[in-house]
Amino acid sequence: MSRSLKSWMVFLLIIGGLWSVAALWANNPLILPSPWTVGEQMIRQLRDPAFFEALFFTLMRSLASLALSFLVAFVLAFACAFHPFLAGQINRLVSILQTLPNVCYIILLLFWCSRNMAVIVSGIFLLFPLIYRTLYEALLDIRKRWESVWIVYPQPKNVLITRVCLPMLKPALLAALKNASSLAFKVCVTSEILCSLSSGIGRQIQLDRFDLNLAGVVAWSLWLVVLVFVFEKLWNFLMTRMFGKEDSPLSRTEQK
């Protein structure tokens, strides 16, 4: 048994013990259901055909928001790194996006597009600033360290971007994607609840809330944690396979 697995088991035992004591003290499932009640709900949900449908739609919306956010942030980060005037305008826009709460985006988007599209676009508004800031600041650091060399040995911008910046940007790029991926699921489920979609984890949580089924709400929340955990483990596995265990940019980022 690995050390990491042992640490997780100890952590879960401690949380489970504290949860059980608190549930016994509350003695009211509407206030705090016991771990066994929540476990039963999770088993029932797993047997329900709507379970995998909810996971699928939430996963697809989250990945769509993440992919589009990355694409926009990637293009704008490179454009702003080499064009200061554009950087000033985009940075002001990013500051505004980071200031507004996610619920404002959702309410406005419901006037302009469908509920499903509102979930995806609201995710972009929240994820784009995070990815953009990480990539933009990393590119500025690369320019600062190598600008004197570029002056002595000038190269076309396409060469600087593809052969110099991209390889050096890889650790920041992959770390930004990892951080944004876990946030994408949280944003997506929140938006699903506020938009009252007919499918997704947010919809199931909303139905259990209407039924005053707190155990069901907690169970779906735990399934969301499991989904994010599995996604991050799969992401780390893919990065390790691509770059090697020691050379993986994600591994170096986590060690720092």
Residue numbers of the domain that contains 74? 35-255
In the chain, the percentage of residues whose pLDDT exceeds 90 is: 7
Answer yes or no: is 21 within a domain: no
Contact present, 110 and 191 (Cβ < 8 Å): no
Answer yes or no: is 25 within a domain: no
Answer yes or no: is 136 within a domain: yes
Answer yes or no: is 2 within a domain: no
Selection from 202, 15, 166, 182 nearest residue 78 by Cα:
166
As for how many domains the chain has, the answer is 1
What's the pLDDT band for 219 if we cut at 50, 70, 90?
very high
Predicted structure pTM score: 0.79
What's the pLDDT band for 71 if we cut at 50, 70, 90?
very high
> Looking at residues 184-205, what average pLDDT do you find?
86
CATH number, residue 97: 1.10.3720.10
What's the pLDDT band for 26 if we cut at 50, 70, 90?
confident
Answer yes or no: is 30 within a domain: no
Residues whose CB falls within 8 Å of the CB of residue 151, separated by 6 or more in sequence, listed in order = none
